[in-house]
Amino acid sequence: MIDIKFLREHPDIVRQNIEKKFQQQKLPLVDEAIQLDQERRQVKQQVEQLRAKRNKASKQIGALFGQGKRQEAEALKNEIAKDADTIEELTQRQRELDRQIREIMLVIPNIIDDSVPIGKDDSENVELERFGAPIVPDFEVPYHTDIMARFDGIDLDSARRVAGNGFYYLMGDIARLHSAVISYARDFMIDRGFTYCVPPFMIRSDVVTGVMSFAEMEAMMYKIEGEDLYLIGTSEHSMIGKFIDQIIPEQQLPLTLTSYSPCFRKEKGAHGLEERGVYRIHQFEKQEMVVLCKPEDSMLWYDRLWKNTVDLFRSLDIPVRTLECCSGDLADLKVKSVDVEAWSPRQKKYFEVGSCSNLGDAQARRLKIRAAGEAGNYLVHTLNNTVVAPPRMLIAFLENNLNADGSVNIPAALQPYMGGAAKLVPKR
Protein backbone atom coordinates (compact mmCIF):
# COMPACT_ATOMS: atom_id res chain seq x y z
CA MET A 1 0.00 0.00 0.00
CA ILE A 2 1.42 3.36 -1.00
CA ASP A 3 1.20 6.54 1.06
CA ILE A 4 -1.82 8.76 0.31
CA LYS A 5 0.54 11.75 0.50
CA PHE A 6 2.66 10.21 -2.28
CA LEU A 7 -0.45 9.65 -4.41
CA ARG A 8 -1.60 13.21 -3.78
CA GLU A 9 1.78 14.68 -4.79
CA HIS A 10 2.67 12.23 -7.60
CA PRO A 11 -0.59 11.02 -9.20
CA ASP A 12 1.05 10.60 -12.63
CA ILE A 13 3.66 8.21 -11.21
CA VAL A 14 0.89 6.15 -9.62
CA ARG A 15 -1.07 6.08 -12.91
CA GLN A 16 2.02 5.05 -14.87
CA ASN A 17 2.68 2.27 -12.37
CA ILE A 18 -0.89 0.99 -12.75
CA GLU A 19 -0.43 0.93 -16.53
CA LYS A 20 2.89 -0.94 -16.18
CA LYS A 21 0.97 -3.62 -14.32
CA PHE A 22 -1.72 -3.71 -17.03
CA GLN A 23 -4.47 -2.85 -14.53
CA GLN A 24 -6.07 0.00 -16.45
CA GLN A 25 -9.40 -0.66 -14.73
CA LYS A 26 -7.85 0.80 -11.57
CA LEU A 27 -6.89 4.15 -13.11
CA PRO A 28 -10.13 5.93 -11.99
CA LEU A 29 -9.25 5.04 -8.38
CA VAL A 30 -6.44 7.61 -8.42
CA ASP A 31 -8.79 10.56 -8.99
CA GLU A 32 -11.34 9.07 -6.61
CA ALA A 33 -8.74 8.80 -3.84
CA ILE A 34 -7.55 12.36 -4.45
CA GLN A 35 -11.10 13.74 -4.25
CA LEU A 36 -11.90 11.82 -1.08
CA ASP A 37 -8.60 12.87 0.46
CA GLN A 38 -9.32 16.52 -0.34
CA GLU A 39 -12.74 16.28 1.29
CA ARG A 40 -11.26 14.51 4.32
CA ARG A 41 -8.69 17.26 4.84
CA GLN A 42 -11.40 19.92 4.55
CA VAL A 43 -13.59 18.10 7.07
CA LYS A 44 -10.63 17.67 9.41
CA GLN A 45 -9.90 21.39 9.19
CA GLN A 46 -13.53 22.24 10.00
CA VAL A 47 -13.46 19.96 13.02
CA GLU A 48 -10.22 21.50 14.29
CA GLN A 49 -11.63 25.02 13.85
CA LEU A 50 -14.85 24.16 15.70
CA ARG A 51 -12.91 22.51 18.53
CA ALA A 52 -10.66 25.55 18.84
CA LYS A 53 -13.75 27.76 18.92
CA ARG A 54 -15.30 25.53 21.62
CA ASN A 55 -12.17 25.67 23.76
CA LYS A 56 -12.04 29.45 23.49
CA ALA A 57 -15.78 29.77 24.25
CA SER A 58 -15.46 27.52 27.32
CA LYS A 59 -13.04 30.00 28.86
CA GLN A 60 -15.34 32.88 27.95
CA ILE A 61 -18.34 31.16 29.58
CA GLY A 62 -16.46 30.80 32.84
CA ALA A 63 -15.48 34.44 32.75
CA LEU A 64 -19.07 35.56 31.99
CA PHE A 65 -20.47 33.55 34.88
CA GLY A 66 -17.80 35.06 37.10
CA GLN A 67 -18.91 38.53 36.02
CA GLY A 68 -22.54 37.71 36.71
CA LYS A 69 -23.47 37.82 33.02
CA ARG A 70 -25.54 34.66 33.20
CA GLN A 71 -27.74 35.36 30.16
CA GLU A 72 -24.76 35.90 27.86
CA ALA A 73 -23.08 32.80 29.28
CA GLU A 74 -26.16 30.62 28.62
CA ALA A 75 -26.43 31.94 25.04
CA LEU A 76 -22.80 31.03 24.41
CA LYS A 77 -23.40 27.57 25.93
CA ASN A 78 -26.29 26.98 23.50
CA GLU A 79 -24.08 27.99 20.59
CA ILE A 80 -21.39 25.53 21.71
CA ALA A 81 -23.99 22.77 22.03
CA LYS A 82 -24.98 23.31 18.40
CA ASP A 83 -21.31 23.20 17.40
CA ALA A 84 -20.90 19.94 19.33
CA ASP A 85 -23.57 18.32 17.14
CA THR A 86 -21.80 19.61 14.04
CA ILE A 87 -18.45 18.29 15.32
CA GLU A 88 -19.97 14.84 15.86
CA GLU A 89 -21.47 14.80 12.36
CA LEU A 90 -18.20 15.92 10.79
CA THR A 91 -16.20 13.41 12.84
CA GLN A 92 -18.45 10.60 11.62
CA ARG A 93 -17.97 11.82 8.05
CA GLN A 94 -14.20 11.90 8.55
CA ARG A 95 -14.23 8.28 9.76
CA GLU A 96 -16.26 7.25 6.72
CA LEU A 97 -13.85 9.06 4.41
CA ASP A 98 -10.90 7.35 6.15
CA ARG A 99 -12.56 3.99 5.52
CA GLN A 100 -13.27 4.72 1.84
CA ILE A 101 -9.74 5.99 1.21
CA ARG A 102 -8.18 2.96 2.91
CA GLU A 103 -10.28 0.57 0.81
CA ILE A 104 -9.08 2.28 -2.36
CA MET A 105 -5.44 2.41 -1.22
CA LEU A 106 -5.54 -1.31 -0.45
CA VAL A 107 -6.39 -1.96 -4.12
CA ILE A 108 -3.96 0.46 -5.81
CA PRO A 109 -0.74 -1.51 -6.50
CA ASN A 110 2.58 -0.73 -4.86
CA ILE A 111 5.17 1.17 -6.91
CA ILE A 112 7.38 -1.41 -8.61
CA ASP A 113 11.14 -1.03 -8.86
CA ASP A 114 12.51 0.56 -12.04
CA SER A 115 14.47 -2.63 -12.77
CA VAL A 116 11.33 -4.79 -13.09
CA PRO A 117 10.77 -5.93 -16.71
CA ILE A 118 7.46 -4.86 -18.21
CA GLY A 119 5.18 -7.69 -19.25
CA LYS A 120 1.54 -8.76 -19.08
CA ASP A 121 1.85 -12.15 -17.35
CA ASP A 122 4.22 -14.93 -16.30
CA SER A 123 4.88 -15.86 -19.93
CA GLU A 124 6.96 -12.66 -20.13
CA ASN A 125 9.09 -13.31 -17.05
CA VAL A 126 12.83 -13.03 -17.72
CA GLU A 127 15.45 -15.68 -17.03
CA LEU A 128 18.39 -14.22 -15.09
CA GLU A 129 20.91 -16.98 -14.39
CA ARG A 130 21.35 -20.76 -14.29
CA PHE A 131 23.14 -22.66 -11.55
CA GLY A 132 24.28 -26.21 -12.27
CA ALA A 133 24.04 -28.06 -15.57
CA PRO A 134 20.58 -29.44 -16.38
CA ILE A 135 20.99 -33.13 -17.16
CA VAL A 136 18.65 -35.46 -19.03
CA PRO A 137 19.59 -39.08 -18.18
CA ASP A 138 19.75 -41.85 -20.77
CA PHE A 139 16.85 -43.64 -19.06
CA GLU A 140 13.21 -42.71 -18.73
CA VAL A 141 12.38 -40.72 -15.60
CA PRO A 142 8.94 -41.78 -14.28
CA TYR A 143 6.28 -39.39 -13.03
CA HIS A 144 7.06 -38.34 -9.46
CA THR A 145 4.20 -40.30 -7.88
CA ASP A 146 5.39 -43.42 -9.72
CA ILE A 147 8.87 -42.93 -8.26
CA MET A 148 7.37 -42.56 -4.80
CA ALA A 149 5.16 -45.63 -5.32
CA ARG A 150 8.23 -47.80 -5.91
CA PHE A 151 9.19 -47.03 -2.31
CA ASP A 152 5.62 -47.55 -1.05
CA GLY A 153 5.96 -43.88 -0.21
CA ILE A 154 2.65 -42.34 -1.25
CA ASP A 155 -1.05 -43.09 -0.88
CA LEU A 156 -3.31 -40.70 -2.79
CA ASP A 157 -6.36 -42.97 -2.86
CA SER A 158 -6.68 -43.07 0.94
CA ALA A 159 -6.13 -39.31 1.09
CA ARG A 160 -9.02 -38.76 -1.33
CA ARG A 161 -11.29 -40.88 0.82
CA VAL A 162 -10.25 -38.98 3.94
CA ALA A 163 -9.97 -35.38 2.67
CA GLY A 164 -10.67 -35.26 -1.06
CA ASN A 165 -8.44 -34.28 -3.98
CA GLY A 166 -5.35 -32.21 -3.31
CA PHE A 167 -4.20 -34.19 -0.26
CA TYR A 168 -1.78 -37.07 0.25
CA TYR A 169 -0.25 -39.58 2.61
CA LEU A 170 3.55 -39.79 2.50
CA MET A 171 4.90 -43.05 3.86
CA GLY A 172 8.16 -44.74 4.89
CA ASP A 173 11.38 -43.52 3.25
CA ILE A 174 9.59 -40.80 1.26
CA ALA A 175 7.99 -39.40 4.42
CA ARG A 176 11.37 -39.50 6.13
CA LEU A 177 12.98 -37.77 3.14
CA HIS A 178 10.30 -35.07 3.36
CA SER A 179 11.09 -34.42 7.03
CA ALA A 180 14.84 -34.61 6.39
CA VAL A 181 14.66 -31.86 3.77
CA ILE A 182 12.71 -29.60 6.14
CA SER A 183 15.17 -30.24 8.99
CA TYR A 184 18.16 -29.67 6.72
CA ALA A 185 16.66 -26.41 5.45
CA ARG A 186 16.05 -25.26 9.04
CA ASP A 187 19.67 -25.87 10.04
CA PHE A 188 20.95 -24.42 6.75
CA MET A 189 19.26 -21.10 7.56
CA ILE A 190 20.25 -21.15 11.23
CA ASP A 191 23.87 -21.58 10.12
CA ARG A 192 23.43 -18.45 8.01
CA GLY A 193 22.44 -16.42 11.05
CA PHE A 194 18.65 -16.60 10.88
CA THR A 195 16.57 -17.07 14.04
CA TYR A 196 14.39 -20.18 13.93
CA CYS A 197 10.69 -19.75 14.69
CA VAL A 198 7.52 -21.83 14.70
CA PRO A 199 4.62 -19.35 14.32
CA PRO A 200 0.83 -19.58 14.78
CA PHE A 201 -0.82 -21.43 11.91
CA MET A 202 -3.94 -19.23 12.04
CA ILE A 203 -4.16 -15.43 11.82
CA ARG A 204 -6.86 -12.80 12.22
CA SER A 205 -8.39 -10.86 9.34
CA ASP A 206 -6.52 -7.63 10.13
CA VAL A 207 -3.25 -9.50 9.67
CA VAL A 208 -4.48 -11.12 6.44
CA THR A 209 -5.34 -7.75 4.89
CA GLY A 210 -2.01 -6.43 6.16
CA VAL A 211 0.17 -8.98 4.41
CA MET A 212 -1.56 -9.66 1.10
CA SER A 213 -3.84 -8.25 -1.59
CA PHE A 214 -7.57 -8.99 -1.76
CA ALA A 215 -7.06 -11.01 -4.94
CA GLU A 216 -4.48 -13.23 -3.25
CA MET A 217 -6.67 -13.58 -0.18
CA GLU A 218 -9.67 -14.77 -2.18
CA ALA A 219 -7.60 -17.22 -4.23
CA MET A 220 -5.61 -18.67 -1.33
CA MET A 221 -7.03 -18.39 2.17
CA TYR A 222 -9.27 -20.82 4.04
CA LYS A 223 -11.60 -19.06 6.50
CA ILE A 224 -12.45 -20.69 9.85
CA GLU A 225 -16.24 -20.65 9.99
CA GLY A 226 -17.71 -18.60 12.82
CA GLU A 227 -14.36 -17.12 13.89
CA ASP A 228 -12.14 -14.23 12.86
CA LEU A 229 -9.36 -16.66 11.87
CA TYR A 230 -7.77 -17.84 8.64
CA LEU A 231 -5.42 -20.77 8.00
CA ILE A 232 -2.08 -19.42 6.81
CA GLY A 233 -1.00 -19.98 3.22
CA THR A 234 2.64 -19.46 4.24
CA SER A 235 4.39 -18.70 7.52
CA GLU A 236 5.38 -15.30 6.14
CA HIS A 237 1.83 -14.19 7.00
CA SER A 238 2.09 -14.80 10.72
CA MET A 239 5.79 -13.91 10.87
CA ILE A 240 5.18 -10.38 9.53
CA GLY A 241 2.01 -10.18 11.63
CA LYS A 242 4.15 -10.80 14.73
CA PHE A 243 5.22 -7.15 14.54
CA ILE A 244 1.81 -5.52 14.01
CA ASP A 245 1.57 -2.11 15.72
CA GLN A 246 5.15 -2.41 16.97
CA ILE A 247 7.94 0.17 17.08
CA ILE A 248 11.26 -1.67 16.72
CA PRO A 249 14.47 -0.06 18.04
CA GLU A 250 16.59 0.65 14.97
CA GLN A 251 19.62 -1.07 16.49
CA GLN A 252 17.71 -4.38 16.38
CA LEU A 253 17.46 -4.22 12.57
CA PRO A 254 17.74 -6.25 10.49
CA LEU A 255 15.49 -8.94 11.93
CA THR A 256 16.29 -12.17 10.07
CA LEU A 257 13.93 -15.06 10.76
CA THR A 258 13.43 -18.54 9.34
CA SER A 259 10.14 -20.22 10.10
CA TYR A 260 8.54 -23.62 9.70
CA SER A 261 4.82 -24.17 9.18
CA PRO A 262 2.22 -26.20 7.38
CA CYS A 263 0.57 -24.18 4.63
CA PHE A 264 -3.04 -24.32 3.46
CA ARG A 265 -4.20 -23.05 0.07
CA LYS A 266 -7.37 -23.25 -1.99
CA GLU A 267 -5.42 -23.49 -5.27
CA LYS A 268 -8.39 -22.48 -7.40
CA GLY A 269 -8.45 -23.03 -11.14
CA ALA A 270 -7.83 -25.80 -13.66
CA HIS A 271 -4.60 -27.76 -13.35
CA GLY A 272 -2.67 -29.40 -16.14
CA LEU A 273 -1.30 -32.92 -16.41
CA GLU A 274 2.03 -32.02 -14.79
CA GLU A 275 0.25 -30.53 -11.78
CA ARG A 276 -1.27 -33.80 -10.60
CA GLY A 277 0.20 -35.84 -7.78
CA VAL A 278 1.75 -33.64 -5.11
CA TYR A 279 2.69 -30.68 -7.31
CA ARG A 280 -0.33 -28.45 -6.60
CA ILE A 281 -2.03 -29.35 -3.35
CA HIS A 282 -4.12 -27.85 -0.55
CA GLN A 283 -1.74 -28.69 2.28
CA PHE A 284 2.05 -28.77 2.41
CA GLU A 285 4.94 -27.82 4.68
CA LYS A 286 7.48 -25.11 4.13
CA GLN A 287 10.61 -23.52 5.53
CA GLU A 288 10.48 -19.76 4.96
CA MET A 289 12.80 -16.80 5.47
CA VAL A 290 11.62 -13.33 6.47
CA VAL A 291 13.56 -10.09 6.89
CA LEU A 292 12.60 -6.72 8.39
CA CYS A 293 15.21 -4.08 7.64
CA LYS A 294 16.00 -0.42 7.01
CA PRO A 295 14.66 0.86 3.65
CA GLU A 296 18.16 1.48 2.30
CA ASP A 297 19.12 -2.17 2.96
CA SER A 298 16.16 -3.96 1.40
CA MET A 299 17.66 -4.57 -2.06
CA LEU A 300 20.83 -5.92 -0.47
CA TRP A 301 18.75 -8.39 1.53
CA TYR A 302 16.67 -9.24 -1.53
CA ASP A 303 19.79 -10.54 -3.29
CA ARG A 304 20.96 -12.41 -0.20
CA LEU A 305 17.63 -14.17 0.22
CA TRP A 306 17.28 -15.69 -3.24
CA LYS A 307 20.95 -16.71 -3.18
CA ASN A 308 20.28 -18.70 0.01
CA THR A 309 17.71 -20.80 -1.85
CA VAL A 310 19.99 -21.32 -4.82
CA ASP A 311 22.81 -22.44 -2.53
CA LEU A 312 20.57 -24.89 -0.69
CA PHE A 313 19.28 -26.55 -3.86
CA ARG A 314 22.77 -26.82 -5.31
CA SER A 315 23.94 -28.50 -2.09
CA LEU A 316 21.38 -31.21 -2.89
CA ASP A 317 22.58 -31.63 -6.49
CA ILE A 318 19.55 -29.94 -8.02
CA PRO A 319 20.16 -27.53 -10.95
CA VAL A 320 18.16 -24.30 -10.66
CA ARG A 321 17.62 -21.01 -12.42
CA THR A 322 16.32 -17.61 -11.35
CA LEU A 323 13.44 -16.01 -13.22
CA GLU A 324 12.55 -12.35 -12.66
CA CYS A 325 8.82 -11.68 -12.43
CA CYS A 326 7.60 -9.08 -14.92
CA SER A 327 5.31 -6.21 -13.93
CA GLY A 328 2.08 -8.02 -14.80
CA ASP A 329 3.05 -11.09 -12.77
CA LEU A 330 3.83 -9.16 -9.58
CA ALA A 331 1.27 -9.27 -6.77
CA ASP A 332 0.04 -5.78 -5.87
CA LEU A 333 2.14 -5.41 -2.73
CA LYS A 334 5.44 -6.43 -4.34
CA VAL A 335 8.19 -4.06 -5.43
CA LYS A 336 10.31 -6.77 -7.04
CA SER A 337 10.25 -10.56 -7.13
CA VAL A 338 12.29 -13.46 -8.45
CA ASP A 339 11.24 -17.11 -8.74
CA VAL A 340 13.69 -19.94 -8.16
CA GLU A 341 12.96 -22.81 -10.54
CA ALA A 342 14.35 -26.34 -10.35
CA TRP A 343 15.27 -28.51 -13.32
CA SER A 344 12.93 -31.38 -14.12
CA PRO A 345 14.74 -34.16 -16.07
CA ARG A 346 11.36 -35.72 -16.78
CA GLN A 347 9.75 -32.61 -18.27
CA LYS A 348 13.07 -31.33 -19.66
CA LYS A 349 12.28 -27.88 -18.32
CA TYR A 350 12.39 -25.84 -15.11
CA PHE A 351 9.48 -25.45 -12.70
CA GLU A 352 8.89 -23.13 -9.75
CA VAL A 353 10.02 -24.26 -6.31
CA GLY A 354 10.25 -20.92 -4.50
CA SER A 355 9.72 -17.19 -4.73
CA CYS A 356 11.66 -14.26 -3.25
CA SER A 357 9.89 -10.91 -2.82
CA ASN A 358 10.73 -7.39 -1.73
CA LEU A 359 7.54 -5.66 -0.57
CA GLY A 360 9.09 -2.32 0.35
CA ASP A 361 7.10 -0.64 3.13
CA ALA A 362 3.69 -1.89 1.88
CA GLN A 363 3.11 -4.52 4.57
CA ALA A 364 4.65 -2.30 7.24
CA ARG A 365 2.30 0.57 6.31
CA ARG A 366 -0.76 -1.67 6.52
CA LEU A 367 0.32 -3.26 9.81
CA LYS A 368 1.94 -0.11 11.30
CA ILE A 369 5.37 -1.68 11.77
CA ARG A 370 7.90 1.06 12.44
CA ALA A 371 11.48 1.46 13.53
CA ALA A 372 12.65 4.08 16.03
CA GLY A 373 15.65 5.91 14.59
CA GLU A 374 17.59 9.00 15.66
CA ALA A 375 15.56 11.18 13.28
CA GLY A 376 12.23 9.68 14.38
CA ASN A 377 10.06 6.69 13.53
CA TYR A 378 9.88 5.26 10.02
CA LEU A 379 8.33 2.27 8.25
CA VAL A 380 10.56 -0.77 7.88
CA HIS A 381 10.87 -2.79 4.68
CA THR A 382 9.79 -6.44 4.63
CA LEU A 383 11.04 -9.30 2.47
CA ASN A 384 10.30 -13.00 2.27
CA ASN A 385 11.61 -16.02 0.42
CA THR A 386 10.96 -19.76 0.25
CA VAL A 387 13.78 -21.93 1.59
CA VAL A 388 12.13 -25.22 0.61
CA ALA A 389 8.52 -26.31 0.16
CA PRO A 390 8.19 -30.07 0.02
CA PRO A 391 6.55 -32.11 -1.29
CA ARG A 392 6.95 -30.04 -4.49
CA MET A 393 10.65 -29.78 -3.77
CA LEU A 394 10.72 -33.59 -3.45
CA ILE A 395 9.74 -33.82 -7.12
CA ALA A 396 12.94 -32.01 -8.10
CA PHE A 397 14.98 -33.99 -5.58
CA LEU A 398 13.76 -37.41 -6.69
CA GLU A 399 14.04 -36.69 -10.42
CA ASN A 400 17.56 -35.23 -10.20
CA ASN A 401 18.95 -37.89 -7.85
CA LEU A 402 17.29 -40.90 -9.51
CA ASN A 403 19.39 -43.77 -10.85
CA ALA A 404 18.57 -46.15 -13.70
CA ASP A 405 17.85 -49.00 -11.24
CA GLY A 406 15.22 -46.90 -9.47
CA SER A 407 17.39 -46.08 -6.45
CA VAL A 408 17.77 -42.48 -5.29
CA ASN A 409 21.08 -40.95 -4.23
CA ILE A 410 21.21 -39.03 -0.96
CA PRO A 411 23.64 -36.09 -1.25
CA ALA A 412 26.26 -35.85 1.52
CA ALA A 413 24.63 -32.75 3.04
CA LEU A 414 21.38 -34.66 3.66
CA GLN A 415 22.80 -37.98 4.80
CA PRO A 416 22.99 -37.06 8.52
CA TYR A 417 19.23 -36.42 8.40
CA MET A 418 18.60 -39.81 6.77
CA GLY A 419 20.40 -41.96 9.32
CA GLY A 420 23.62 -41.87 7.33
CA ALA A 421 22.08 -43.54 4.26
CA ALA A 422 23.79 -42.68 0.97
CA LYS A 423 21.06 -44.20 -1.18
CA LEU A 424 17.39 -45.14 -1.03
CA VAL A 425 16.57 -48.54 -2.55
CA PRO A 426 13.03 -49.11 -3.93
CA LYS A 427 10.89 -51.85 -2.46
CA ARG A 428 9.51 -52.77 -5.87
| CA–CA distance, 142 with 158 (Å, rounded to integer) | 22
pLDDT digits (tens, 9 = 90+) for 156-198: 999 999 999 889 999 999 999 999 999 999 999 999 999 999 9
| Residues 381, 260 share a domain | yes
Q: Check: CB of residue 404 under 8 Å from CB of residue 384.
A: no
pLDDT digits (tens, 9 = 90+) for 215-265: 777 778 999 999 999 999 999 999 999 999 999 999 999 999 999 999 999
Please tell me whether residue 389 adopts helix, strand or coil conformation: coil
Residue 142 lies in a domain: yes
Residue 112 lies in a domain: no
Residue 29 lies in a domain: yes
| Residues 372, 335 share a domain | yes
Helices 392-400 and 172-191, interaxial angle, to 10°?
100
| Residues 288, 246 share a domain | yes
| Residues 15, 131 share a domain | no
Q: Which pTM was predicted?
A: 0.89
| Residues 227, 370 share a domain | yes
pLDDT digits (tens, 9 = 90+) for 385-421: 999 999 889 999 999 999 999 999 999 999 999 999 9
- What's the half-sphere exposure (Cβ side, CA atoms, 13 Å) at 215? 9
Counting beta carbons within 10 angstroms of the beta carbon of residue 44, is it exposed (0 to 12), middle (13 to 18) or buried (19 or more)? middle
67 pLDDT above the threshold of 90? no
| Residues 138, 96 share a domain | no
Would you put residue 125 in left (φ > 0), alpha (ψ -120 to 50) or beta?
A: beta
Q: Check: CB of residue 372 under 8 Å from CB of residue 396.
A: no
H or E, element range at 291: strand 283-293
Domain hosting residue 89, numbered range: 4-107
Residue 166 lies in a domain: yes
For strands 255-264 and 195-197, give the pairing: parallel
Q: Give the strand order in the sheet containing 222-223.
A: 202-203, 230-231, 222-223
The total number of structural domains in the chain stands at: 2
| Residues 265, 187 share a domain | yes
Please tell me whether residue 388 adopts helix, strand or coil conformation: strand
| CA–CA distance, 25 with 347 (Å, rounded to integer) | 37
Q: How confident is residue 59, by pLDDT bands cut at 50, 70 and 90? A: low
| Residues 83, 148 share a domain | no
The mean predicted confidence, pLDDT, of the chain is 92
Give pLDDT, residue 274.
Answer: 53
